[in-house]
Structure 1
Amino acid sequence: MIRCRRNTSGVAAALGLLALALGGILEPGGSAWAGGPLVVGGTFGPPGQPFTWDISLGEVQYRTDGGGLGVLSNSEANDLVAAMFQVWEDVPTAAIGFNRLGQITGLADGNVETLAEFDRVVGRCEAGSQSPIIYDKQGALFSVLFGPGSGVIGFAGPCQVSNGGRIVSALVALNGGFLDGQTFNGELTGNEFEAVFIHEFGHFFGLDHSQVNLNCLFGCASGSDDAFGLPTMFPFLISGLTEVPGVHPARTLSMDDLAWVSRLYPDPSFSSSYGTISGTILFSDGLTPAQGVNVIARRVNDLGTTENESRRFAVSVVSGYRFTGNPGQSVTGTNTGGSPFGSRDPALIGAFEIPVPPGAYTIEVEGLSAAFQGGSSVGPLDPPFPNPGAQEFWNVGEANDDPTYLSSPVTVAAGATASGIDIILNGTPRRLDAFEIVRLWLRESLAPWLRENREWVRG
């Protein structure tokens, strides 16, 4: 599953899958899970388990392009790659390391400049023989892949995964056109470009996108608590936004980023530094699990500080993130088996688990942004699940008609799980019978004939 990122000027950019350009690298139909693992096992791989690099073998080995990157020389680009990988290595509760083996193999000079050379390098990545970091010096290759002015600044993801649940090889490509000294083509600051490296490297080792502080998509102030809480793995790069002058929020890892890299690659200290909040999201009938709803654990705000901790410190996941987003269907005969990724265990359809440091948290649910589709998708469903009910919080008297603003704190201890945090969504249509789950996508106010015509089979 390859992810790509576009530039914006104060507004969010869309990310697109490279299905045509990259062919076999991708799993069409979506294999991404959000606020955590990029790929989860299903009929291929251990069911419900994230694909990760095998760190028992030592550091993850990568190779770099032989050319320059924008205004950076080859040696400067290589040094920057190492420094941005180091950002992830420095997470104290995570255990993952990276090492540069040398130059990309398969080309005389290791410099990927043409589509033919790109295809050759991708082929070696798909074969599991190398994990390349590709520098497109002036963005010419990106223009061929995506079209001129596409705004794509990078893409990344696994090339090959094993049935044992391991990432065997992965790829990152970076567009030097955004660091070429020319302001007319969407130039990024050096700090913003570094943020792109860190984001793409997250995909490289298996992290997916996260939706936290979505309001920043439409504008939040630099230096605000919302900016500080924005994840590096947020789907879009919001250019011009800063935590402190000169530092983009994506350049520093948020609590969400720290939690999920630690969950995927736990250091021995992880169990004494994190607990878990778990539960299930249900439709208003209180029985039917709802997949594809964004769930956020926010630290309870300390009124004794000037900061709003609930906006700065939050971790998210999407309900049903370990369940498949494409179980298949036999009606048309074109998608009988569905995706090989994601569990088929019904108990996981609406389930969520969120790793958090010890403390007290509120738990809220919200819909995923409709802008997050394709390469920018968040969660196992692409396009995202339309919010079936109002944004609301969990409370101890959870019901399908409780005030949406009513919340109860959930206290988590290190090494422990606060389970049973089940949220019943307000205002979703009633379930007619056990086979009518798909109708819950539709409001009952629609005329019966319209309900029938709008029903669909996911495939």
Structure 2
Amino acid sequence: MKASKQTASFVAACLMIFAGFPMSFAGGPLNLNPEDPDNFERWAGGGAGISFNPDRGGLGPQSSAQAIANTEAAFMVWQDVATSTATYTNEGRMPFDVNENNFAPFAENLFFGTNVSDGLSPIVYDQNGAIFAALFGPDSGVLGFASPDTFDANGVPIEGVSFLNGGAMLDGFPAADFFGVQVHEFGHYSGMAHTVVNGQSVLFGDASGPSPFNTYGDSPLNQVETMYPFIFEDGGQGTLHQDEIAFISVLYPAARYFADSGSFSGTILALNGSTPLTGVNVIARNVAGPFEDAVSAISGDRGETGDYTLNGLTQGESYTVHIDGILAGGFSTPPILLPGPEEFFNGASESDNIGRADDPGDSVALVAHAGTPTTGIDVILNGFRPGGALPVGDDGFVELSLPFSFRMCGQRFDSVFVNANGNLTFGAPGSGLSESDQAFLGGPPRIAGLWDDLNPAAGGTVTFGQNPKAFTARYIGVPEFPGTGANSFEITLREGSSRINVRYGALSAGDGLAGASCGGAVTSGFEPAIDLSDFSARRVELSRQPAAYEIFDEDNPPDLANLLLRYSGVTNYQDRLEPNNGIGAARPIALPFDTIPVHKFTEIDPAGRDVDYFRFHAQAGTTLIAQILSGGIDSVLGLYQMSAPGSGTLIAVDDDSGGGLLSRLIVPIPATGAFALAVSTFPDVDFTGDGFPPGGRYVLDVFTVEGTVLSLGDDDTINRPIGFTFPYQGRNWSDVWVNSNGNLTFGTGDTTFLASVDDLLDGPPRIAPLWDDLSPDQGGMVMAAGDASALTVTFMNVPQFAAGDSNNFSVTLNADGSVLIHYGEVDAIDGLSGVTEGRRAADPGESDLSAGGPFPVSGTTYQHFDEGDGFDLENSVLVFE
């Protein structure tokens, strides 16, 4: 896959695509095949006659003939590598033009692993970008993807596929540079993966040696490797570079390739000098031609943990070797965050830099010998010396190995991330500068001395001390960004326990967050804040709540200066609702029910053998809402209608209809009686216990509501029978349109999200409790319940678009023609409320609806709220009659 680099924001969008695409590609081999003698997934026969079938249509501005000619020329770029035996054969055009209506069968093998042979290896020309929009959404920035996609019984490719986005050229991407896209994708097609050699220097200003050592200066634009995940306009990526030439020759070597070139190999080791690390990028640069003659590999990319091999080195030339952190792109050998600085290999001086000095900027020149591999080029990652300043910079982090395994909330960690912004995290860095309860509860396990936008780059020191029994991270006189004040505190972890001490010195910050959190794998996400200063004389027990924290702001500034806070982290949390692993063992619950409190902690453990069941009673005429509110599992929910004790019929299943792709069921109860709810992990949609990992905590919420839940998306509308004849604005109505943006209309629906007086007057007859840009698909729900005398439509906890807030109100239509609007808690500060006959009604001017009433139900009465005035009808009732 390749994405276009045009602006910083465009690059960021491309990175999101790489994070989510199911087939990510890495430096070295695209995939591994244990049946291959070298563990490579590669075409048979030394790559001779790799076939392809070009599409019949055009590609962007290119005619069919032009597109095919460019495709053949791009394959020839790889075929022309003298040290490789790979060749390519055009087996004739596809039998029909592939477009957005018929492309799916040609993507299924790659996306879903179906491995169905159809005798074709399509090069799909998406003429206008419609296919890519269907796959990745509009304006995704993805220019193409390719791979072998069909294999014989031994895992050897027999067919491949490539999709090329012609719509990018129609949108202005240069056709000349799109040739480089084809060369790149056909590298994937051949078995090549993404690589990082010079591209980061051009795109991100990365150092050409181990950062911060820009040993060889900046890479020229024309030396960006073809297999870099991002393309550069005028970057020359249609021409192969030494890194691509080397690895296509490793996959399909000519007779004398290994005899006529040199290689370096070794292992990347953790600072203990013995643990191999997979996912570290290794680069060799020719001292005399550091960008033209440079090759790379990711440790472990050939299947051996921590091992790497750099091929294609020039006989008699001198090279340096260094490890380099990968900054962006998609990789099948997942890059790791380096638990130490980037560094050169420096021969006998290799060490962890703790017991013996190992300067990361020192290197040794290694001479390549054709036909004689140079082995043992092992790099031991450097640690940091206790007492020295940690190079966290502004908003950065450093990962440190702990002198012992530390247990926190049932999880064991051998390293800790010391983050510049005043907190420690486990398992992942926490470099975010903006503290929030959501990130604190839902992110990695975290201990926050004072999480704030601190700036150690502007002053103070972040350091650490350790012994076999204790580890302490110290923040000494660290200012807030850009360089204001000074904040001092230290966080101590102790061996053999889950106890955490945070000792404060002087604090100047006026806001921030302090506390300890078990992280998203354990917390419910609904833990409330507390007053930490109340615990200065006693321990904070995380056994009672898996997060204890306080948020400080200008109204509640930090008050922890010179205090000692002590946290006791439990070793584990137990699912006390077990055993409930079968429908006959379903745990009885009374609705409403949720597992937010820690004493109702629920988890799937282990995934694939644990299915949780809950049994309850429900009434006909109600609607069941069952949802996973939070959790680290890929959840699946099922509802059984019980036919006898211990047995039932599965009547509803959901995978990812809820927030965050978690599960949510909304089911009208068909008959009064007993029901059971099942919780598992995907793809266990029949609840037999064959779900995939990971397991872990989930938070279940189950309740019923009167009436029917209306399925409304963003800017959506749905028609609903009223149930009686409703007289309104001079007409009798038997149905009403419920609009997602907080209003009801008659005669037609209305999805307008920006409320205006003109649209109120000119549109259909309308009742607007709160006409605003609301999004029921992003949270909350809209419900309708009624009988022969009244219909009530309720908006419950519905947020504004992309705001994450909550708005609660209902509107009741009575058979006598009166209208009641009840408001609960409303977070919106703008919008429009009132009634109108519409259809170019005259403007009577605004009314103050908060002044009371009742107001006339006929004609037009309204109030328009904006940010200046604010919404003032919260917790009130309006009567129109």
Q: What does residue 189 of structure 2 align with?
A: 204
SS of 2:89's equivalent?
Answer: strand
Q: Is the 8 A contact 2:226 2:239 kept in 1?
A: yes
Q: 1:322 Cα shift?
A: 2.2
Q: What does residue 411 of structure 1 align with?
A: 367
Counterpart residue type for residue 394 of structure 1: F
Counterpart residue type for residue 418 of structure 1: T
Deviations 1:91-114 (A, max 9, x none): 110110111111224xxxx10112
Q: 2:202 aligns with which of 216, 225, 233?
A: 216
Counterpart residue type for residue 413 of structure 1: H
Q: What does residue 422 of structure 1 align with?
A: 378
Q: Does 1:288 align with 2:278?
A: no
Give the TM-score, by structure 2 length.
Answer: 0.41
Q: 1:47 Cα shift?
A: 8.1
Q: Does 1:380 align with 2:377?
A: no
Q: Is the 8 A contact 2:55 2:123 kept in 1?
A: yes
Give the direction of change, closer, same or farther, for the CA distance of 1:423–1:453 in structure 2 (3 Å limit). farther
Select the structure that is richer in strand: 2
Q: 1:231 aligns with which of 221, 225, 235?
A: 225
Q: What does residue 16 of structure 1 align with?
A: 17
Q: What does residue 99 of structure 2 align with?
A: 113
Separation in 2, partners of 1:270, 1:452: 55
Separation in 2, partners of 1:7, 1:406: 36
Q: Is the 8 A contact 1:210 1:231 kept in 2?
A: yes
Moved more, 278-287 or 156-165: 156-165
Q: Does 1:250 align with 2:237?
A: yes
Q: 1:440 Cα shift?
A: 4.0
Give the direction of change, closer, same or farther, for the CA distance of 1:407–1:18 in structure 2 (3 Å limit). closer
Q: Is the 8 A contact 1:159 1:169 kept in 2?
A: yes
Q: What does residue 39 of structure 2 align with?
A: 49
Q: What does residue 73 of structure 1 align with?
A: 63
SS of 2:177's equivalent?
Answer: helix
Q: After TM superposition, list the pairs within 5 Å mapping 1:334-373 onto structure 2.
A: 348-355=304-311, 356-358=313-315, 359-369=317-327, 371-372=328-329
Q: 1:438 Cα shift?
A: 6.0
Counterpart residue type for residue 17 of structure 2: G
Separation in 2, partners of 1:163, 1:412: 39
For structure 2, the residue ranges without an aligned partner over 5 or more in a row are 207-216, 384-399, 419-470, 474-490, 501-515, 522-631, 633-692, 695-881
Q: What does residue 311 of structure 1 align with?
A: 291
Deviations 1:161-213 (A, max 9, x none): 34524222211111111223xxxx3x222221000000000001111100112
Counterpart residue type for residue 414 of structure 2: R
Q: Is the 8 A contact 1:53 1:166 kept in 2?
A: yes
Deviations 1:211-246 (A, max 9, x none): 1121212259xx97442432100011133xx4xxxx
Q: After TM superposition, list the pairs within 5 Å mapping 1:444-455 onto structure 2.
A: 445=473, 447-448=492-493, 453=518
Separation in 2, partners of 1:19, 1:102: 34
Q: What does residue 398 of structure 1 align with?
A: 350
Tell which has more relative contact order, 1 or 2 (C-alpha 8 A, sep 6+).
1
Q: What does residue 145 of structure 2 align with?
A: 155
Counterpart residue type for residue 85 of structure 1: F
Q: 1:439 aligns with which of 414, 417, 439?
A: 414
SS of 1:284's equivalent?
Answer: coil
Q: What does residue 256 of structure 2 align with?
A: 269
The RMSD of aligned alpha carbons is 3.1
SS of 1:121's equivalent?
Answer: helix
Separation in 1, partners of 2:378, 2:338: 17
SS of 1:380's equivalent?
Answer: coil
Give the direction of change, closer, same or farther, for the CA distance of 1:235–1:56 in structure 2 (3 Å limit). closer
Q: What does residue 340 of structure 2 align with?
A: 389
Q: After TM superposition, list the pairs within 5 Å mapping 1:61-100 onto structure 2.
A: 61-100=51-90
Give the direction of change, closer, same or farther, for the CA distance of 1:58–1:253 in structure 2 (3 Å limit). closer
Size of the alignment, in residue pairs? Answer: 387
Deviations 1:364-392 (A, max 9, x none): 002111x32xxx22x512xx311211111
Q: Is the 8 A contact 1:276 1:417 kept in 2?
A: yes
Deviations 1:58-103 (A, max 9, x none): 4011101110111111111111100010000001101101111112
Q: Does 1:322 align with 2:313?
A: no
SS of 2:253's equivalent?
Answer: coil
Give the direction of change, closer, same or farther, for the CA distance of 1:289–1:57 in structure 2 (3 Å limit). closer
Q: 1:39 Cα shift?
A: 0.1
SS of 1:194's equivalent?
Answer: helix
Give the direction of change, closer, same or farther, for the CA distance of 1:57–1:368 in structure 2 (3 Å limit). closer
Q: Is the 8 A contact 2:286 2:319 kept in 1?
A: yes
SS of 2:291's equivalent?
Answer: helix
Q: Does 1:127 align with 2:116?
A: yes
Q: What does residue 343 of structure 1 align with?
A: none
Q: 1:146 Cα shift?
A: 1.6
SS of 2:91's equivalent?
Answer: strand
Give the direction of change, closer, same or farther, for the CA distance of 1:97–1:146 in structure 2 (3 Å limit). same
Q: Does 1:176 align with 2:173?
A: no
Separation in 2, partners of 1:282, 1:179: 45
Q: 1:48 Cα shift?
A: 6.3
Give the direction of change, closer, same or farther, for the CA distance of 1:6–1:225 in structure 2 (3 Å limit). closer
Q: Is the 8 A contact 1:231 1:250 kept in 2?
A: yes
Q: Is the 8 A contact 2:17 2:140 kept in 1?
A: no
Q: Is the 8 A contact 2:299 2:306 kept in 1?
A: yes
Q: 1:19 Cα shift?
A: 7.6
Separation in 1, partners of 2:364, 2:417: 30
Q: Is the 8 A contact 1:158 1:169 kept in 2?
A: yes
Give the direction of change, closer, same or farther, for the CA distance of 1:19–1:159 in structure 2 (3 Å limit). farther
Give the direction of change, closer, same or farther, for the CA distance of 1:441–1:46 in structure 2 (3 Å limit). farther
Q: 1:249 Cα shift?
A: 2.9
Separation in 2, partners of 1:454, 1:426: 29
Counterpart residue type for residue 164 of structure 2: L
Give the direction of change, closer, same or farther, for the CA distance of 1:431–1:18 in structure 2 (3 Å limit). closer
Q: Is the 8 A contact 1:229 1:313 kept in 2?
A: no
Q: What does residue 278 of structure 1 align with?
A: 265
Q: What does residue 194 of structure 1 align with?
A: 179
Q: Is the 8 A contact 2:60 2:166 kept in 1?
A: yes
Separation in 1, partners of 2:254, 2:412: 41
Counterpart residue type for residue 6 of structure 1: A
Q: 1:439 Cα shift?
A: 2.1
Deviations 1:301-340 (A, max 9, x none): 3xxxxxxx113321000111123xxxxxxxxxxxxxxxxx
Counterpart residue type for residue 229 of structure 2: P
Separation in 1, partners of 2:126, 2:63: 12
Separation in 2, partners of 1:441, 1:273: 46
Give the direction of change, closer, same or farther, for the CA distance of 1:195–1:417 in structure 2 (3 Å limit). same
